[in-house]
């Protein structure tokens, strides 16, 4: 596995924490994943780990599911004329990765409120 070298360098107490992390988080308002998902796999529980971590070439454009999906990892910011990054919304997906522009972004799914840090 490609992560073996990484895990060999991590202290055992940290390794146990990392090994019990889940690859997605579902709330009543939507789903949060790292990189996306495979739009051709209907059930979230059956998504390939690779798709959840890195996304797929057909995500987010082909996603037609009912759940809103918040994802990062993909440098997906929409930048306005002043250079300020915002989440990119494609259908029911919200790409929140704005860090390459020096801004951290979070989205509260219940009301769509966006929280952002100042630039650094």
Q: 6 or 11, which is more confident? A: 11
What's the pLDDT band for 3 if we cut at 50, 70, 90?
A: low
| pLDDT at residue number 44 | 95
pLDDT in tens, 16-44: 888 888 999 999 999 999 999 999 999 99
Residue-range domains of the chain with CATH: 23-116 (3.60.21.10)
Residue 76 contacts by C-beta under 8 Å, 6 or more apart in sequence?
Answer: 87, 88, 95, 96, 97
Segment (H or E) for 61: none
pLDDT in tens, 68-83: 999 999 898 999 999 9
pLDDT in tens, 51-73: 999 999 999 999 999 999 999 99
């Amino acid at each position: 596995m490609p992560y073996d070298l990484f895990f060999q360098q991590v202290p055992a107490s940290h390794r146990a924490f990392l090994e019990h992390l889940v690859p997605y988080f579902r709330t009543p308002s939507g789903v949060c994943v790292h990189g996306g998902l495979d739009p051709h796999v209907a059930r979230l529980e059956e998504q390939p780990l690779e798709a959840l971590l890195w996304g797929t070439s057909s995500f987010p454009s082909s996603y037609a599911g009912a759940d809103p999906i918040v994802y990062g990892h993909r440098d997906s910011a929409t930048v306005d004329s002043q250079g300020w990054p915002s989440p990119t919304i494609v259908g029911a997906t919200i790409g929140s990765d704005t860090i390459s522009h020096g801004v951290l972004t979070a989205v509260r799914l219940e009301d769509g409120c966006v929280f952002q840090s100042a630039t650094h």
